[in-house]
Amino acid sequence: IEITKKNKITGSIGKLIGLSGGAEKDIKYKIGSYIDYLDSLRDIIIESLSMSDSKYTIIFDELDDQFRNEDIYKSNIISLIKVTERINSLFYKKNVKCKIILLLRLDIFYVLNDPDLNKIEEDSSVKIDWGKNDDKNSPLFDMIILKLRQSMDPKIEKKLSNQDILEQLFPESLHTSKGRCISSPKYILGRTYLRPRDVVTYLNHIKDISPDKEYFSKEAIKSAERKYSSYLFKEIKNELCGHLSNEEIDESFKLLKQFKKVSFYYAEIEEYYMKRTNLFPHINLHRILELFFNFGVLGNQWTVKKNGKSRSYYSFSHRENVDIDFDKKFNVHLGLRKELNLY
């Protein structure tokens, strides 16, 4: 608001002429931009928070929504990361009990390019890592058991070890397509990306199939696999958005479906692709395989012979920090095979 005062001269004969106490005002209103008031707003918020006995946490989630590997998106995210770092430092200096947290996928963070990001990553980031273990000793099952304990009778819960609960929940082993016998937890985790939501989703699908069972049977685990595979397929497609166009994503998975191999060398799929380039006009095979490897759709496979015996080894990006090797075999992730109709 702009205020302009017009002073009014008053007086009477025989007295000094002076200014009256009442003045006329011309008041002009104009719309202000919030940017003009950011400094004042910041000061007020910091003052209010510093006087509060409570603790506050502000969490920014879903930053991957509508992700595009484009300059405007990357600039916005970089700005958000840097200003969050500055505000958190300001809160710390002012003894304000407030923290701002950004939740961001690593694949998105690593496409950002700014000289300050490495320092911020080293000083101010926490990477959530659920480990490489894909059997009953995985921290993912510790998480599940912890949740179960909270809903159990305290008298019973105290008497049971984690191992006791696992044996009650997963008493049966399963056979793989190659005839190997493995535990139920290992079978389930081998089809996930070792993330909590993957495991919880799989277990919920099993519950839907056999809601009256008090344990996860091998029949239910296998029956739920196709529905779970459909979920995982959609998850990966969503994560690839922004890195690839919709046409590239559809054609890339179409290529894997029609190729119909769970394990193959680069030369094999290249030969297949080159004979059918008209079916996949939007994709570059080399780039697609590299992205599929980085997102865990494909892993590398190789065989080592020792003492007359052969043993196969596998490396996937979600389990370890590895680079693609085009000279080794490729192997399609177990969790995607049902949806892609690969056996």
d(Cα 168, Cα 262) in Å, to the nearest integer? 34
Domain definitions of the chain by residue range: 36-124, 139-223, 231-336
Which residue from 241, 280, 229 is spatially nearest to 259, judged by alpha carbons? 280
Inter-helix orientation angle 225-240/196-209, to 10° = 150
pLDDT at 2: 56
- CB of 102 within 8 A of CB of 84? yes
- Residue 278 per-residue DSSP state: G
- Position 22 scores a pLDDT of 54
Per the CB < 8 A criterion, the answer to whether 202 and 190 are in contact is: no
What pLDDT score does 4 carry? Answer: 56
Q: Tell me the C-alpha distance between 29 and 3, whole Å.
A: 9
Q: Write down the pLDDT at residue 13.
A: 45
Q: What does DSSP assign to residue 21?
A: S
Position 216 scores a pLDDT of 92
Percent of the chain whose pLDDT exceeds 90 = 55
Q: Show the low-confidence residues of the chain (pLDDT under 70).
A: 1-29
**Are 277 and 314 within 8 A, CB to CB?**
no
Determine the Cα–Cα distance for residues 97 and 222; give it in Å rounded to an integer: 49
